[in-house]
Amino acid sequence: MIFNLLKAAYLTLLLVFTGSFCFAQSNYFNMSLGFGGGINNSYTDVKEGSFGYTTYGTFDFHITPFVTLGLEGQYGRIQGGDIETDPNNRQFVNKYTALSANVKLMLGQVVDYYQSEFLYNIRGLYVGLGIGVVNNNITDIVRYKPSWAASNPGYGPFPGEDKSLNLLVPLNLGFNYYINDGYGYMRYIINFNAQSTFTFGEGLDGYNDLNTKFKNFSPDVYNTYTIGFKYMLGNIKTYRKTL
């Protein structure tokens, strides 16, 4: 009788432990493909940047559901200046392409989101850092001041190259909104991302000015604000938390 009671108690505890362990785990797909687009704004050697557009595609490897290593390719138009309103009558258009590798860390990796509905809802909030290269293709640029310029009419040429490669470092702040498929897996992601991209070189705006003539001490930067969609695929992995 005592043996039967001990056996029953043991089986009960085993079932409870097993059930709890299973509940605390979830399965997820370890890769995703994505695409999206939005607007960008430039901060370069001209007085004021202006808005352009950016499109992108991504491939990410999910180390966990909330830590990714990825590749991102961009294509778009970066522009700035205005021949009429810029103090030096300069303007440019850069139809660029860029490729970068990045790592992203989401809030869900570092907090116990299942204990708070608010944390659960924002578990896809992330920061990211990357490194890559931008291929600059200047398709429109003012190399000589116009004859009607208020100062130094006809001055030029402004130094710089129409085609160049520059190293870049993107910083990301964004949010992933997860949507489950019919089997309960995290399958679809709607992505909102803000990215500041620092370039090292003077190719983004096509102007490579001498410091003796123009103040030129900060890197050329462009910011992007995008909305995208990701589809998760690949092998199924197990994660220690409920998703």
The CA-CA-CA angle for residues 206, 136, 140, to 5°, reads 50
Least confident span in 17-26, 46-55, 105-114, 119-128: 17-26
Q: If you average pLDDT over residues 69-89, what whole number do you get?
A: 96
Is 209 within a domain?
A: yes
- The chain-wide mean pLDDT, for the chain, equals 89
Q: For residue 15, is pLDDT > 70?
A: no
| 132 vs 156: which has the higher pLDDT | 132
Is 20 within a domain?
A: no
Is 21 within a domain?
A: no
The residue with tokens 């808005």 is 51
Among 167, 168, 116, 160, CA closest to 142: 160
Tokens of residue 236, six digits: 């199924």
| 183 vs 91: which has the higher pLDDT | 91
Is 1 within a domain?
A: no
Separation of alpha carbons 199 and 156, rounded Å: 25
Q: For residue 22, is pLDDT > 80?
A: no
Residue 33 structural domain: 28-239
Tally of domains in the chain: 1
Separation of alpha carbons 144 and 126, rounded Å: 45
Q: Which amino acid does the sequence have at 93?
A: V
- In the chain, pLDDT over 90 holds for what percent of residues? 79
Q: For residue 194, is pLDDT > 90?
A: yes
- Give the model's confidence band at 19: pLDDT under 50 very low, under 70 low, under 90 confident, else very high: very low
Q: Which residues contact 47 (CB under 8 A, 6 or more apart)?
A: 81, 86, 87, 88, 90
- What's the confidence (pLDDT) of residue 214? 67
- What's the confidence (pLDDT) of residue 178? 96
Using alpha carbons, list the distances in angstroms from residue 213 to 81, 88, 153, 209, 227. Answer: 18, 11, 16, 7, 40
| 114 vs 161: which has the higher pLDDT | 161
Is 5 within a domain?
A: no
- What's the confidence (pLDDT) of residue 29? 96
Separation of alpha carbons 155 and 205, rounded Å: 18
- What's the confidence (pLDDT) of residue 114? 86
Least confident span in 7-11, 22-26, 29-33, 50-54: 7-11
Tokens of residue 199, six digits: 């370039």
CATH number at residue 59: 2.40.160.20
Is 19 within a domain?
A: no
Q: If you average pLDDT over residues 82-96, what whole number do you get?
A: 95
- Give the model's confidence band at 26: pLDDT under 50 very low, under 70 low, under 90 confident, else very high: confident
Is 62 within a domain?
A: yes
Task: State pLDDT tens for residues 207-240.
Answer: 998 776 666 657 899 999 999 999 999 999 999 8
- What's the confidence (pLDDT) of residue 21? 39
- What's the confidence (pLDDT) of residue 186? 92
Is 17 within a domain?
A: no
Q: If you average pLDDT over residues 16-30, what whole number do you get?
A: 61
